[in-house]
Amino acid sequence: MAKTKWLTRRRIVIILILAVLIFGWKTYRSQRPKFSVETAKVTRSSITESLSASGKIDATEKANLTFQTTGKISWIGAKEGNQITKGQAIAKLDTIKLNSDYQRALSDLRSTQATVDRIHDDLKNHDSDETFLQKETRTEAESANDKAYEAFIKAQKDLKDSTLVSPLTGIIAKIDPDQIGVNVSAFSSSYLIINPESFVFEAEVNEVDIAKLTIGQKVLITLDAFPDEELEGITLSISYSSILTSTGATAYKVKVKLPGNKNQLLRLGMNGDAEFIFKTVNDVLTVPSTSVVETGDKKFVWIVNTSEKAHKKEITTGVSSIDLIEVKSNLTDTETVITRPPTDIKDGDKIKIL
């Protein structure tokens, strides 16, 4: 009997110990953080709504000159970086052969023209009774004269084009070839003249965003060459024809007027990013863009209460930038939000702040 009572007490003690252990385990589990998260304070700040697009510097006033005939370069009158005035000669081909071709073409033209004139004189007053042989002779002479005239015009043009003349005032940005005595074929040379005061930033804007832009809109430009400097410009033009980007997307070229090229630091082809400014608001409540979760047409944030538990709050948003979103309702600057809430987080979940 005594042994039975002892066994009963032992069972009760074991059951009580197990109950305490289970209760303790459940309590520990309930208090242990389910997620480790990063947080940010709700702050008051200024926020700018904008659109970013990459691009590069181009010039609205530029000319790429090239020799349009074969020849040997006999003279180069400028160096890369030199100031050039409109009408100034830049380079020249050797004209000995070109002059010879021109004189030969002129002589041939005069000869064929004389033949045509003589035949026409012979046929004067014979329009109605011109024989077949006479007509054939006249037609051949006129055809030869036409060909001689075309050859003369070409020789004249080749001689004229043997000297490259700048059509604008600016800077010579490229000379190729840059040595005399070099033989060039037609259209193989390149002499680039640009006006640095006509520099624009040409950005490629995706078709889904193009309707947001307006002429005269403020634009902030950061160039890769000067990452710590910001240039302020305005939207100058938006192209009507589309292009395909390197990724295959449809985009439009947008030209942005740049401020003056101070100290001639800007260069053609410099890459950078343009930020088209839409709207700026000051002293408003903001949260990181990554903290806002969208469900249907509603937006939420997860806040952290004093017990380090997550609580879901619906909010109304306003202006947004790449990093921040304006919060118009249901938050105060005393609260803290989870910056990247886990997808499976639930209201009341215990969290650990990293």
Model pLDDT for residues 59-81, shown as the tens digit of each residue: 999 999 999 989 999 999 999 99
Burial of 240 (0-12, 13-18, 19+ CB in 10 A): exposed
Q: Roughly what angle, to the nearest 10 degrees, separates helices 132-160 and 96-122?
A: 160
What is the pLDDT at residue 135?
A: 81
Give the number of C-alpha atoms closer than 13 A to the C-alpha of residue 248, restricted to the C-beta side: 0
- The three-class DSSP label of residue 225 is coil
Contact 250, 207 (CB under 8 A): yes
What is the pLDDT at residue 149?
A: 95
Average pLDDT over residues 16-31: 57
Model pLDDT for residues 190-209, shown as the tens digit of each residue: 999 999 999 999 999 999 99
Lowest mean pLDDT among 99-113, 255-269, 282-296, 298-312: 255-269
Contact 131, 94 (CB under 8 A): no
For the chain, the first-to-last Cα distance in angstroms comes to 61
Cα 152 from Cα 149, distance rounded (Å): 5
Sequence-separated (6 or more) residues with CB below 8 Å from residue 200: 57, 58, 59, 60, 236, 255, 256, 257, 258
Contact 47, 280 (CB under 8 A): yes
What is the pLDDT at residue 21?
A: 59
What is the pLDDT at residue 124?
A: 78
Strand-pair category, 183-184 with 163-165: unpaired
Domains and CATH numbers, the chain: 35-47+282-353 (2.40.420.20), 52-61+198-280 (2.40.30.170), 65-92+163-194 (2.40.50.100), 95-161 (1.10.287)
Average pLDDT over residues 254-276: 90
Which DSSP symbol is given to 335?
-
Average pLDDT over residues 164-187: 94
What is the pLDDT at residue 307?
A: 79
What is the pLDDT at residue 267?
A: 92
Report the mean per-residue pLDDT for the chain: 89
Residue 24 has pLDDT above 60, yes or no: no
Average pLDDT over residues 179-199: 94
Q: Provide, rounded to the nearest whole percent, the portion of the chain with pLDDT above 90.
A: 71
What is the pLDDT at residue 318?
A: 93
Q: Provide, rounded to the nearest whole percent, the portion of the chain with pLDDT above 70.
A: 89
Residue 102 has pLDDT above 60, yes or no: yes
Contact 310, 303 (CB under 8 A): yes
More confident residue, 165 or 124: 165
More confident residue, 93 or 321: 93
Task: Report residue 223: phi and psi, to 5°.
Answer: -95, 145
Residue 40 has pLDDT above 90, yes or no: yes
Residue 339 has pLDDT above 80, yes or no: yes
